[in-house]
Chains A and B, each alone.
Chain A
Amino acid sequence: MVKKNNRPLKMLYKSVVLLMMMLLTVKLYAQESVSGIVKNSKGEPLPGVTITEKGRGNSVKADANGHFTIKLQDSGSTLVFTYIGYKTQEQTAVGTGTIQVSLEEDLAGLDEVVVIGYGTQRKSEVTSAVVSVKSEDFLKGNVRDAADLIRSKVAGLTITKGSGSPGAGSQVMLRGFSTLKGNAAPLVLVDGIVGDFATVPPESIESVDVLKDASASAIYGTRGANGVILITTKKGSRNEQVNVNYHAYGAISSFFKVPDFMDANDVRNGLTAYKDLGANTDWLDAVTQTGISQNHSLSIQGGNKSTTYSANVTYRNEDGVMKMTDLNSIKTSFDLTHYMLNDVLKINVNLVNASQKSNINASTAADLSSPYRQAVIRNPTAPIYNEDGSYYEDLSVFQYYNPVSILNERQGDNKQRWYRLTGNITLEPIKGWKTNLMLSRRNTTTLEGYYSTKKYYTSLVNGLNGSANRNDYDLVSDNLELTTNYVKTIGDHSFNLLGGYSYLYNEVESGTMYNFDFPTDVFSYHNIAAGEALKDGRASITSNRYDDRLISFFGRVSYSYKNRYNLLASFRREGSSKFGDNNKWGNFPAVSVGWTMNNEPFLMDATWINNLKLRAGYGVTGVIPNDPYQSLTRYNYGTFYYDQGWISGLDVTSNPNPDLKWERSAELNIGLDYSLFNERVSGSVDFYNKRTSDMLWDYNVPVPPNRYPTTMANVGKMRNRGVEVSINVVPVRNSRFEWRSMVTASHNDNKLISLSNNLYQTANFIYGAYAGDPISVPTHKLQEGQSFGNYWGPKAVGVTDDGFWLIEDPNTGETVQLTQNMLNDTYRQYLGNGVPKVYLGWSNSFRYKGFDLNMQLSSQWGFKILNEQRMFYENNSIAYNRLKTAQDPVFGIAPLSSGQSQTFTSYYLENGNFVKMDNISLGYTFKFSKIPYIKNLRLYLTGQNLFVISSYSGLDPELTNGNLMGAGLDPRDKYPTIKSFTFGLNLTL
């Protein structure tokens, strides 16, 4: 019975299969070729455009002249033309003739691909605060690191550079300060691997994407709370003609501004405590020079049907404005991708290798060995050298050394080398399902060695008789990541599913050697055992090793309906070995939604609206402690005790905290993306509210019973909220002239909510920063209910007739004379804030025929700067040189008395508001249509840090501060900022 009934079905099945096979064969025979040319709106051919047969997935790329030929599987198929920076266009392939397609530039970039971590999204699908900056929008000029490329380009991302030292990096901060102890810098990933701005050659960068809010960055778990910056390097594309680019520039620089100190005549007129020593020396001139830098970069990229490649070599040499502060580096990168088995398998190898060598002075800490400090305070009537050629020194003055000797007599290098090796294997067994295994190793080694000769001040003052240091550092970071991703569209519904596992292992080994009392200066630090101090037991050697692991499981779903409603939800479960035993694993969920209103039927008629999308997102992220082993009771040998001889003993070095975990940050973000009037006006607005809890800090714990006065614990709470706005306008756009203008603005409001919990009840404040020696009083106080960066000190209201400070007694409001015993909290009050309320950036770019002109302004508003240089040197009691303004009457009454010692009062706080011309760049691009080997040549001239409009009397109101709690401090011992002019050429072959 059963068999009988089955027979007809089997037959039917067989015939259907047969029919299908026949149809398929017919189709195969019906395959036809279509060729064409792709051009831009100006009629110029566009190479590299991807042409895909819709619904079939087969694709080709346009060649260098914009020509393409594609074999169609279905006659009359629709072709899809996609290209970064251009709107995607569809066209039906009719007939066999040549089709001409003109792609329109996508100014709003809706089809732009945005990197969101473990994948990409089209800009139109993005539901969180993500900003992408492409290479064509990067700032040009004397670019020290990748952070310089995107200055003021991303609202809410503050990039400042307050030092002119060739080795100085930028300070990067997103959405204000939210952490006390953990790392406040955003997580920087270079092609998915942890890195930093300095390690990538700027020329090799394709795009920088910034995940600003927690709904986007929560996929990075404990490292996401300060935002994530994703750097994508340039890759070759398939069927791309070889592209060779040579970019070179040279720059000259000088100090942006120098302070006005007393000169030799002033000393002779008795305006300082110095004696006239007869000479006439410009000390700052003696230690500075015109800074010269050069940068050469050579890139090659290309690809055939199955293999793509790109490579870059960049050489940089920089001689700083301060003498003996030179730096040179060579950075190389190489990327190779091969597609196999009908694109089912993709293999990628990526290699970055770089080395950098800088003079030890370039990285010198700000202290009394700062040549700048010693130059400005030195007696301008003192000679540099004695008659016998030795350095003129006067060691009876405290902490007062010849700056020329400081530069010449301490020599050494800091050598850094890093490499990054990444391999990817991608399997795409069926269209839309990709599984990727990434393995990477990152290695950074540093070797720092320097020698202070017998003429250096430490030899003269501390009797070291020549001292040498040699320090090494070696980091190896291994990363394994397995991700799987499935993309599917069913009708109006599009899904993107991601799952993954990540294992990160970091290991650091480091060591130091120090020896002194050398028989000769000849060895420098290269024969460190030759110092006698080693034999006396006074040399020192250290070595150190530590590691940590970070393990995560993560998943993400994105869903889109009719391009109107978008949803993104992610989850990461992450654990770190740095956490205490009771809290090894944390969960970091996030969800965000977007509503593209202009795609709704009711707005279809409003053609002036190109894009209008409302976004909302919420996510939980974390901050991880910087150092490992913080949860353990640690002991160390090296504390000696005497028992008929010295014996090394074991001492406790920390209190345990088995509850130690990540700092938790929960953020709500609401944003609006808009693009109006034929995309002439576009941009976005974002509001956020970020609550940080379990804040990491070295909390004071009671002694007794603890044996160590601080414990790293999760206690405090803080809130940050703010708004970010970006506006892009294209006032003029035609084939010959274009003017684009972009404004970014951000405001952040910060409040410390608590510094205590049940277990840790501490004072309700932290002194955020102190003025340096010899003033040594707090300058900032962070108190519950208050915000980061509040100044805390005596409020100066005048001076006595003989020049002593009069301050306001905050308890009575009365005016009292400030005496030594009043240097305590009773006489201090809040004096304003050092964190700018508003950051602004305004860039304009003009293009006229071959000319291009770019201007970038940055601005900060609503903050006060503590002018330390005035605090220390606008004083008449000091034994050192003084600012000329020390003679000016304070509050119009009298100059400070020679008996008024240096101290911190509100008098040294100045309004910091400024507008700065960061960058002006003028370029001309030559077209070589007749010379076959040259594609184009661009010559440009750039001026950086050209002028500032500000009432600030110090050197430069743009500050960087390592201690965030001391925001607004303009340090005394700085390497002043520079301005520079760059001439460059960019040749594409």
Chain B
Amino acid sequence: MKKNVLKRRSSVLAIVLCFSLLFMNACTKLDEDIYSTIATEKTELTEDDIQNLVAPVHASLRTLYWGWDGLFDIYEESSDLIMTPLRIGVGWGDYYVAMHKHQFNPNISHFYGLWINAYKGIGGANALLDLDNPATAKFVPEMRAMRALFYYYLLDNFRNVPLVTTQDLPAGFLPEQAAPQEVFDFIVSELDAVKADLGESKTNFGHMNKYAANMVLAKMYLNYNAWFGTNDNSYYEKALVELEEVLSAGYNLSPNYEGPFKADISSDPEVIFGIPYDITYAAGNYLSNKAFHAASAQTFNLSAAPWNGSGAIPQFIDTYDEDDERFEKTWLMGEQYNYNGQPIMIEGTPFVYTKEVTSIDGAAPNQGARFRKYEVVSGNVGTYGDDVPLFRLSDAYFMKAECLLRLGRDEQMAADLVTQVRQRAFKQHPEKAIRTVAQLKGASVYNYGHYENGAWKTVEGGGDIELGGLLDDLAWEFVGEHHRRQDLIRFKLSSGTPVYLGKSWFCKDAEGTASSYKLIFPIHQEFINSNVKLMQNNGY
């Protein structure tokens, strides 16, 4: 009996031991199996995969522009053209109020979106360039150009930014901010280096060609003095060199002002570089929702009700010439009509967008003219699929005109360039299209001053703005096109203070040069928190 027990015991032991040994090898493996995701630790990327790594760079540019709190907001919300008030019973206000009043602080999410999307794009481009793989060689010029474009936006808005040009970095690497001049030089040298390789094709929509690089360089040179506080005319000459290449490339002004703002601009003759969007593959432009009151859904036969946010600053609306055809193509104002031309009624009264807006801190739902420059497609689409004309020929015309006026030579040529662009805006009144040198160099017709609750707190006018007429023309042509903040900083009062600081508009007050730190934005607190080496911009 005892023997039996022992026998049984040892056989059981053997079974258990064998069993465990069997499992020792197979069952201590902790590999992760992947199924519906790709991980570079687990799978080699194929050549096709590698080619597709360009996607995030393009996607970052899309999101940079039309992600929430994107470039549209960055250049308009702090300007004298567009604002987003607290709409009573609706919402908004919030940090848009801080943007309007220039009460910038490191927690405003606009500063998060711009930075994160630019550096995601830069990181994507770096990663592709690091590969140094024959499969990606053809993307190298484009990736370097796009990386430079991202840095251009970072430099313009934050100035003191890290310059990271590779992803091949040690774990825990914390980059420091580069000197602004170093970033400037990097952008210029990169664009100069790849300009020729980008090619001159005008049909490869959505991809930077040589002329797109010219445009970035021209903008860099045009703004150099404003960015670096210098007064060096050679940069305007450099800009002109870049612009001449663009102007002689064979682009043409679109016959109609709305041409570059159609949903599909891939074949518009004026567009030098456009960001492609698509309702299905890459929806982005939420402008119709941000700007329109729900009732405007009837105007455009939209199936969804817009969110009723942004409106025009009333003083800007006053600057328009009554015969400027761009007004109707840019703004919805006054009595509103439905798709069939019948007046829109709300609870028995006609629906009207008023020019007047009470205050940034409290506006009625129907106050303020609404931005409608981009094509509004009926149904579910709205503006979501609208491409963005990042650089267009009119811009080159205006930049050349500005350079000439600032250099004080060929001034009539400058006036002619502006006139040429204005001609399609005054088809019924061609005489009004003509702008003289005196007009361009003269006063701004913008009646600056703090205008709130229907009353003037200060009246400042625009008489003391240098090149005030040109500044007005820039607004009429380029409102809502990532222009205005840069323009207001570059244009100065006779005192030397940038218009951006020195003038009041709507509920924003004029400030002196003591507030010059506001010419760049603070770095968002999230980035300061996650990188101890980052220094907040002075003044914030």
Contact = CB atoms under 8 A, between A and B. Distances in A.
Interface of A: 273, 275, 344, 395-398, 427, 429-430, 435, 437, 461-465, 480, 482, 484, 501, 503, 536-538, 543-549, 551, 575-579, 581, 584-585, 628-629, 632-637, 639-644, 646-653, 656, 658, 699-707, 709, 758-763, 773-774, 776, 819-821, 823-825, 877-879, 899, 901
Contacts of A633: 39-41
A662 to B, nearest CB: 13
Interface residues of B, number: 94
A649 B128 CA distance: 13
A499 to B, nearest CB: 10
B526 interface: yes
Interface string B17-37: 001100100011111111111
Interface stretch (B5-13, B315-323, B488-496): B5-13
Contacts of B54: 641, 649
Contacts of B174: 702
Contacts of A651: 55-56, 59, 124
B88 A877 contact: yes
B303 interface: yes
B174 to A, nearest CB: 6
B302 interface: yes
Contacts of A819: 361
A462 B525 CA distance: 35
Contacts of B205: 642, 644
B123 A704 contact: yes
A179 B383 CA distance: 44
Contacts of A396: 294-295, 346
Contact of A635 (B40, B94, B529): B40
Contacts of A581: 41
B162 interface: yes
A821 B101 contact: yes
A344 B124 CA distance: 65
A484 B23 contact: no
Interface string B95-111: 00110010101010000
Contacts of A632: 32, 34, 39-42
A649 B30 contact: no
B119 interface: yes
A536 B127 CA distance: 35
A820 B169 contact: no
A398 B89 contact: yes
Nearest to A825: B107
A429 B8 contact: yes
29 contacts: A427-B12, A429-B9, A462-B305, A501-B27, A503-B23, A544-B35, A547-B33, A549-B30, A628-B32, A629-B32, A632-B32, A634-B38, A635-B49, A639-B55, A639-B59, A640-B278, A644-B204, A646-B280, A646-B281, A647-B55, A650-B45, A651-B56, A656-B41, A699-B530, A700-B526, A702-B174, A702-B175, A763-B530, A820-B86
B305 A395 contact: yes
Given A429-B8, A551-B28, A639-B56, A546 B35 contact: yes
A547 B37 CA distance: 12
A640 B281 contact: yes
B311 interface: no
Interface in B138-174: 162, 164, 167, 169, 171-174
Contacts of B45: 635, 650
Contact of B167 (A484, A705, A773): A705
**Residue among B56, B122, B167, B347 having the largest count of chain A Cβ atoms under 10 Å:** B56
B526 A821 contact: no
A427 B124 CA distance: 60
A551 B20 CA distance: 13
Given A647-B55, A703-B116, A824-B107, A642 B89 contact: no
Contacts of A878: 89
A538 B59 contact: no
B120 A707 contact: yes
Question: Chain B contact residues: over half helix, strand or loop, or mixed?
Answer: loop
A551 B29 CA distance: 8
A464 B305 CA distance: 11
Contact of A640 (B5, B28, B282): B282
B25 to A, nearest CB: 12
B530 A702 contact: yes
Contact of A649 (B8, B28, B53, B529): B53
A706 B172 CA distance: 10
Given A538-B280, A820-B361, A544 B36 contact: yes
Contacts of A642: 58, 205-206, 276, 278, 281-282
Nearest to B346: A396
Contacts of A762: 529-530
B3 to A, nearest CB: 12
B361 A463 contact: no
Contact of B123 (A398, A465, A706): A706
Contact of A538 (B20, B35, B38, B380): B380
Contacts of A658: 41
B186 interface: no
A8 to B, nearest CB: 24
A622 to B, nearest CB: 15
A476 B476 CA distance: 63
Contacts, number: 247
Given A650-B49, A821-B98, A707 B167 contact: yes
A125 to B, nearest CB: 27
Contacts of A652: 56, 124, 127
Nearest to B124: A707
Contacts of B207: 643
A462 B5 CA distance: 78
Contacts of A344: 8
A700 B528 CA distance: 10
A637 B12 contact: no
Contact of A463 (B28, B36, B380): B380
B199 interface: no
Contact of B175 (A427, A700, A704): A704
Contacts of B346: 396
A864 to B, nearest CB: 25
Contacts of B206: 641-643
B90 A398 contact: yes
A575 B70 CA distance: 44
Contact of A705 (B28, B89, B105, B123): B123
B459 interface: no
B500 interface: no
Given A649-B56, A820-B361, A705 B38 contact: no
A648 B531 CA distance: 33
B41 A538 contact: no
**Residue among A275, A429, A537, A656 having the largest count of chain B Cβ atoms under 10 Å:** A429
A536 B12 contact: no
Contacts of B305: 395, 461-462
Interface string B441-459: 0000000000000000000
B171 to A, nearest CB: 7
**Residue among A545, A629, A703, A877 having the largest count of chain B Cβ atoms under 10 Å:** A703
A705 B164 contact: yes
Contacts of B164: 704-705
B255 interface: no
A776 B33 CA distance: 40
Contacts of A701: 530
B314 interface: no
Nearest to A509: B35
Contacts of A578: 32
B498 interface: no
Contacts of B175: 702, 704-705
B437 interface: no
A435 B15 CA distance: 11
A983 B302 CA distance: 55
Interface string B235-247: 0000000000000
Contacts of A644: 204-205
8 smallest CB-CB distances across A and B, nearest first, come from A649-B55, A463-B303, A763-B529, A879-B89, A702-B531, A707-B123, A632-B39, A545-B35
